[in-house]
Structure 1
């Protein structure tokens, strides 16, 4: 495994190929983290039936989890900034396992929500660590590609993890899904321990005047990230409800989520290489595609074929490209250490997830599932406007 990786003097030419083993380990860890976070989405109908709740109430499990992350990501990152990075990352994976075991045996909704909150605490640190780790493993000109590799794990969570736990839950009961997830978290911790090299502490940015400008850019990046996640999760949290309302059978929800998540791989393949060459153009193309896909879902509902076509475009643009876009932009803003920049991305992403789940719950209860895509697209349009208005936060060149 070698010694601790410290930030080398410029030029730093470490490529993705040089760091592939650590990046793959981070990608797999990201897969189980995303699967743990999003598992309730495909299982909402089953959990609701089991506990005697309506789906809008059960959807708040996503809000609880994401709300904990949004509140704790920055304080926990600052409070643990002097601790060794790799053991801390291992601790987050084991905490995910504890959370999933507790969910598996939760007798009531209150206990279930508390168990999910434990996972939220872990999540508050995991992505801050993962984003910063990724940036430290390669040179600055290769951050976009490195983020793309690690984000493949997130896309895998949506493409493989969530559909698998959804299908398992439909076949054997939703509690078994979380039991399997707990085992996966423990195995992933062992993999990380065996393969991921340790890294040294991230250097703090210097220069008051320059730093103020950089912090402004970082603020724009993470604010736009929050809007994007808010719009997406207003609709995506209830995607199973929308698909069922459009005539899809319950047994087909898992396979459809698999296909939709697979579209994220296509989106990542198209957008990933451009993040190091034309980040502004790539960002506008990604967010524009999310908005267009949501419009198609809204116009087509409840015609299943049109809804699926729109969802393929929307989820393809979001699932892989969006996290990569904003994680890379936050690191390149140089407004904070990589750990803190990662924490801010994590905070705003989960603020958007929590807010989207809560907003979607209200929209679903008040206006029905057909209104969800229209609320989502209005919010995403605000994110597009933010990118258009800020050339410094989203530059044409890396």
Structure 2
């Protein structure tokens, strides 16, 4: 599951480190290349909820294999595509498979372990996310700048083959959600705490992605000479520490950790704005940002799992839709921001995170309960 998550996130974020090679190779602007992220997110937004609703009762292993196969095909098409239009279509389809996988992985991981280990199991299954940010995206950026951006996506296809084999051999084939426990979509949204968690997901993920997608543009405008791949490594390694810390304490101190993570995230935004022409300060901000954001997916999915109970699969499909809606808006909104003034990216990042902090702080009832 962690390897699958790695492929999904690395595929999604790969263009962030390849904006220049892709735009140069396809003879388009960096803003247009950034829409490869938006197309992927749009596919997820469209497909996630229908995919989960249609497959609620299906066994999990075949769905996992189908999702991985989808990434094998779409990344191969992206690597071989002749123009931007074909790549955008492939990214849209990849996003649809992402919606299927993210909607089921959290419930899949939590279903195969005892109650007292569900948070830790989810942290392990989601570990592919920070590893992708720490290794996948920077490595893809390095491959793209030294060989060709097409090989970056080709590497994801090779990993998909490995994941297919491993999943076929070792993944447990658990059942889907029993029919008697399935709630209509509107009733899942109405579960106390679910809507508040979705609002935090949207604002926090939008804050993150509006900066992350256009990090290369930010670094270029700052005139630091800091390579994009090195910046992404700093962020990603710190994110690994963040996911480790989350895994250790998430089952006991979810609320406190979420609040501290968002506050640290806001601190990183302040440093990115005030210290944008100082390499040491930017590197420190990247490390704080990664540390704060590394466990975000686990924290939010754990909160959603607690709030939604037996409806966790549908609730996490909604979480996936909102997550990727934020990425879609970030791709478009970020392009508008860098078209006017790239230095405003950290300001937008801070303002959106502040809203997420407020919602988290007041959601101490059903959404982000006071820890026992």
In the superposition, the TM-score normalised over structure 2's length comes to 0.94
**2:85 alignment partner in structure 1:** 110
**1:245 alignment partner in structure 2:** 221
- Larger displacement relative to structure 2 (195-204 or 283-292): 195-204
Aligned partner (choices 319, 328, 345) of residue 345 of structure 1: 319
1:265 aligns with 2:246: no
The answer (yes or no) to whether the contact 2:239–2:295 under 8 Å persists in 1 is yes
**2:348 alignment partner in structure 1:** 375
**Structure 2: any 5+ residue segments left out of the alignment?**
none
Change over 3 Å in CA distance of 1:206–1:161 after alignment to 2: closer
**1:313 alignment partner in structure 2:** 288
Task: Report the Cα distance in structure 2 between the residues aligned to 1:205 and 1:84, rounded to whole angstroms.
Answer: 16
For residues 143-182 of structure 1, the aligned pairs below 5 Å read 143-182=118-157
Task: Report the Cα distance in structure 2 between the residues aligned to 1:226 and 1:299, rounded to whole angstroms.
Answer: 25
Task: Report the Cα distance in structure 2 between the residues aligned to 1:341 and 1:61, rounded to whole angstroms.
Answer: 26
Change over 3 Å in CA distance of 1:56–1:207 after alignment to 2: closer
**2:176 alignment partner in structure 1:** 201
Task: Report the Cα distance in structure 1 between the residues aligned to 2:155 and 2:188, rounded to whole angstroms.
Answer: 46
For residues 126-145 of structure 1, the aligned pairs below 5 Å read 126-145=101-120
1:275 aligns with 2:250: yes
Task: Report the Cα distance in structure 1 between the residues aligned to 2:299 and 2:238, rounded to whole angstroms.
Answer: 17
1:219 aligns with 2:195: yes
Listed one character per residue, the Cα deviations across residues 212-252 of structure 1 (whole Å, up to 9, x for unaligned) are 897131121122111110111111110122123223447x3
Aligned partner (choices 328, 333, 336) of residue 362 of structure 1: 336
In the superposition, the TM-score normalised over structure 1's length comes to 0.88
**1:12 alignment partner in structure 2:** none
- Larger displacement relative to structure 2 (211-220 or 57-66): 211-220
**2:28 alignment partner in structure 1:** 53
Deviation beyond 6 Å, 4+ runs, structure 1:
211-214
Q: How much has 1:312 moved relative to structure 2?
A: 1.4
The answer (yes or no) to whether the contact 1:212–1:335 under 8 Å persists in 2 is no
Q: How much has 1:335 moved relative to structure 2?
A: 5.6
Q: How much has 1:206 moved relative to structure 2?
A: 8.2
Task: Report the Cα distance in structure 1 between the residues aligned to 2:292 and 2:119, rounded to whole angstroms.
Answer: 16
Aligned to 2:18, what secondary structure does the other structure show? helix
Change over 3 Å in CA distance of 1:207–1:192 after alignment to 2: closer
The answer (yes or no) to whether the contact 2:188–2:308 under 8 Å persists in 1 is no
**2:299 alignment partner in structure 1:** 325
1:232 aligns with 2:208: yes
Instruction: Please give the root-mean-square deviation of Cα atoms over the aligned residues, in Å.
Output: 1.9
For residues 74-85 of structure 1, the aligned pairs below 5 Å read 74-85=49-60
Q: How much has 1:336 moved relative to structure 2?
A: 5.5
**1:20 alignment partner in structure 2:** none
Task: Report the Cα distance in structure 2 between the residues aligned to 1:345 and 1:133, rounded to whole angstroms.
Answer: 15
The answer (yes or no) to whether the contact 2:231–2:286 under 8 Å persists in 1 is no
Task: Report the Cα distance in structure 2 between the residues aligned to 1:69 and 1:108, rounded to whole angstroms.
Answer: 22
Listed one character per residue, the Cα deviations across residues 137-185 of structure 1 (whole Å, up to 9, x for unaligned) are 1123322211111121111111111111111111111011111111111
Change over 3 Å in CA distance of 1:253–1:212 after alignment to 2: closer
Change over 3 Å in CA distance of 1:346–1:207 after alignment to 2: closer
